Amino acid sequence: MSLPIEEIKSELINSLTSNDLVLLSAPPGSGKSTCLPLWFINKAKVEKSKIIMLQPRRVAAKSVANYLAYQLGEDVGQTIGYSVKNDSKLSRQTVLHVVTEGILTLMLQDDPELSSVNLIIFDEFHERSLQSDLAFALARDCQQGFREDITLLLMSATLDKELIDSHLSNVPLIESKGRSFPIDIVYSPPNQFSLWRQHMVNSIANWIKEGQGSALAFLPGSADIRAIYDDLQGKYEYQIDIYPMYGDLPLKEQQKAISPAKPAARKLVLATNIAETSITIEGVTTVFDSGLEKVASFNKSRLVNQLQQRQICKASAIQRAGRAGRTEPGQCIRIYSEEDFSRRPLQSGTDIKQSDLIPLVTQVARWGTTECRQLPFVELPEPTSETHAWQTLSELKIVNDRRQLTPHGKQVVALPCHPRFGHMLISAIEIAQNESRPD
């Protein structure tokens, strides 16, 4: 059975042939991640060029690469390879290279012309992390300054109309309708918000006793997942397989969560918003949505990013519900009221407006520019926040008064950590070396 994305294949290929930047909107389950990239493999082989595909999460990058390789009848690391933090499977014959955001940024910084790469695919672009915004800005600058023959494809499951109208209005937009089954939305708010976790447990327990199939429960953070996992595992471990899934979980454990359920078994996955996009969890027909998420927000007084719990936006709620209708009709049980849903904003705030900008401007300086507006970002940070970040880098002697990396700054950017920590490590080494020298 063909995937919905096949319907727009000719239109998309023609658009990519005549445009250097194209935007594709396709809902989850359409095949944009697991089918579309294979369309360009043979052309890349003939041209002896490469394709980079960006996935925002490590488990998604590995999962997508493995599935694409499987469709070619190969092991991952041959025609299809991947690179994530501390793990990579590549070979000389690799044509399609699936990477995470930070990896793409490093590739661009090390080789600003991206030699031999002719297509970069940004999957799940609507997530708009700081790293994906930076990677796009550097790739677009590379395209405009060095490599006019590189094509960029932005793929999004949900469209931010305001973003398109203000920053991508001249970019060709192609839409795939996708295919999904009916989803019954059930609103089941707790009597008191503070009791939402227990209400979630009770709702899941009722489903385990009376429902069928497998389920996915969206929870705000790992602490909530562990608490609910312990509660349910102690009571229902012989009736259903329960798997946690969150960002800090080892990749092997995350792979267990997305693998198909055992024959004749039911499965429950307790996940953060990591499971909203990219990752397909087989057999899910019921979704439980807490309506909450935890996001990193920069605390200016403490100079650190802090995880803060907040309500998800409507777009995220729709994404979550869609996980229940991938292969058959399903249901989404929202642990909040319909009135609550109606009051929520359509889109969430972007990282570039609320996160610590020091890592971003450090990479901007490494690229050789002195302001974010010199790069083609889809959205610029607040001027005061950017100025403060540059001032901090100057105080740490990472950049000079012309906003160029100093010798100390070049050592800092070579370390895989926040520039503040890199500065502390290098300074500590220098102090220790000075103290060990004889008078």
Return d(Cα 177, Cα 173) in angstroms, integer: 13
Return d(Cα 144, Cα 20) in angstroms, integer: 9
pLDDT band at 323 (very low <50, low <70, confident <90, very high): confident
Which of 177-181, 283-287, 316-320, 430-434 is the least confident region?
177-181
pLDDT at 180 over 90: no
pLDDT at 279 over 70: no
Residue 270: what pLDDT? 94
Which of 34-43, 65-74, 245-254 is the least confident region?
245-254
Residue 406: what pLDDT? 97
Residue 238: what pLDDT? 77
pLDDT at 439 over 70: no
Identify the helix (H) or strand (E) that includes residue 243: strand 241-245
Q: What is the mean pLDDT of residues 245-252?
A: 78
Q: Which two tokens stand for residue 170?
A: 């001249």
* 314 contacts 344 by C-beta, under 8 angstroms: yes
The arrangement of strands across the sheet holding 183-187 comes to: 183-187, 330-334, 284-289, 214-218, 267-271, 241-245
pLDDT digits (tens, 9 = 90+) for 18-61: 999 999 988 777 888 889 999 999 999 988 999 999 998 888 88
pLDDT, greater one: 33 or 395: 395
Q: Which two tokens stand for residue 84?
A: 């994530």
Beta strands in 280-438 (DSSP E): 284-289, 292-299, 304-311, 330-334
Name the pTM for this structure.
0.85
Task: Give strand pairing partners of 186.
Answer: 333
Task: Give strand pairing partners of 287.
Answer: 216, 332
Helix (H, G, I), strand (E, B) or coil at 294: strand
Return d(Cα 394, Cα 412) in angstroms, integer: 13
Cβ neighbors of 96 (< 8 A, separation 6 or more) are 37, 40, 41, 44, 50, 51, 53, 68, 79, 80, 81
pLDDT at 163 over 80: no
Return d(Cα 217, Cα 228) in angstroms, integer: 10
Q: Where do the H-state alpha helices sit in 259-349?
A: 314-322, 338-343
Residue 303: what pLDDT? 64
Return d(Cα 432, Cα 290) in angstroms, integer: 50
Residue 418: what pLDDT? 92
pLDDT, greater one: 37 or 101: 37
Q: Which two tokens stand for residue 23?
A: 């935007």
Residue 308: what pLDDT? 83
pLDDT digits (tens, 9 = 90+) for 303-321: 667 778 899 999 889 889 9
pLDDT at 168 over 90: no
Task: Give strand pairing partners of 439.
Answer: none
pLDDT digits (tens, 9 = 90+) for 341-361: 999 998 877 888 888 999 999
* 98 contacts 61 by C-beta, under 8 angstroms: yes
